[in-house]
């Protein structure tokens, strides 16, 4: 008579032991998973903060590079204008020289020869001056 009760009691004890063991294992796994999630959350927050800091630093670098490029381009324009465009004094001096030559006796024929001022000369009447590099001008009549 007691055998069925004893079997039922053993089965119930076994079931309760298994349930307790499973619940303990689940609690251990849940605790470990929660710890892992907290750690991953902290690491994600640190990564987000690092990204914010790098973004701020990159904004300054980008602004510095942009301002530097604009200033460099302006400096190149000013330098190019200084070197390539003749000054007002140079232009006035050239006009005075041409006017003086025209007043010296006849109209001087001048031209622009690849960016240089050229004058018409008689090539067969050259070799004058101490360095022999003067020629007689061929004036318009």
One domain, residues 42 and 65: yes
One domain, residues 23 and 75: yes
Q: Which two tokens stand for residue 56?
A: 């701020």
One domain, residues 126 and 80: no
Helix or strand (DSSP H, E) at 122? strand 121-128
Q: How confident is the model at residue 75 (pLDDT cuts 50, 70, 90)?
A: very high
One domain, residues 50 and 78: yes
Q: Which two tokens stand for residue 112?
A: 């622009």
One domain, residues 67 and 93: no
Whats the size of the chain, residue-wise?
A: 141
Q: What is the pTM of this model?
A: 0.35
One domain, residues 129 and 70: no
Answer yes or no: are the C-beta atoms of 126 and 135 closer than 8 Å.
Answer: yes
Q: Measured in whole angstroms, how far is the alpha carbon of residue 103 from the centre of its chain? A: 57
Domain total of the chain: 2
Report the largest interatomic distance among the alpha carbons of the chain, rounded to a whole angstrom. 154
Residue 47 sits in which domain range? 1-85
Mean pLDDT (the chain, rounded): 83
Q: How confident is the model at residue 140 (pLDDT cuts 50, 70, 90)?
A: low
One domain, residues 63 and 7: yes
Residue 53 to residues 17, 58, 100, Cα–Cα distance (Å): 54, 9, 71
pLDDT tens profile 30-73: 888 888 898 999 999 999 999 888 888 777 778 888 899 999 99
């Amino acid at each position: 008579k007691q055998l069925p009760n004893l079997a039922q009691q053993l089965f119930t004890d076994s079931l309760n032991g298994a349930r307790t063991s499973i619940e303990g294992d689940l609690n251990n796994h849940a605790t470990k998973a929660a710890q892992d999630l907290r750690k991953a959350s902290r690491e994600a927050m640190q990564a987000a903060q690092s990204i914010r800091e790098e973004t701020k630093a990159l904004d300054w670098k980008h602004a510095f590079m942009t301002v530097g490029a604009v200033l460099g381009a302006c400096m190149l324009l000013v330098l190019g204008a200084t070197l390539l465009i003749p000054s007002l004094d140079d232009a006035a001096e050239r006009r005075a020289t041409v006017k003086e030559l025209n007043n010296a006796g006849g109209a001087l024929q001048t031209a622009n020869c690849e960016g240089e001022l050229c004058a018409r000369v008689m090539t067969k009447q050259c070799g004058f001056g101490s360095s022999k590099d003067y020629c007689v001008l061929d004036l318009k009549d």
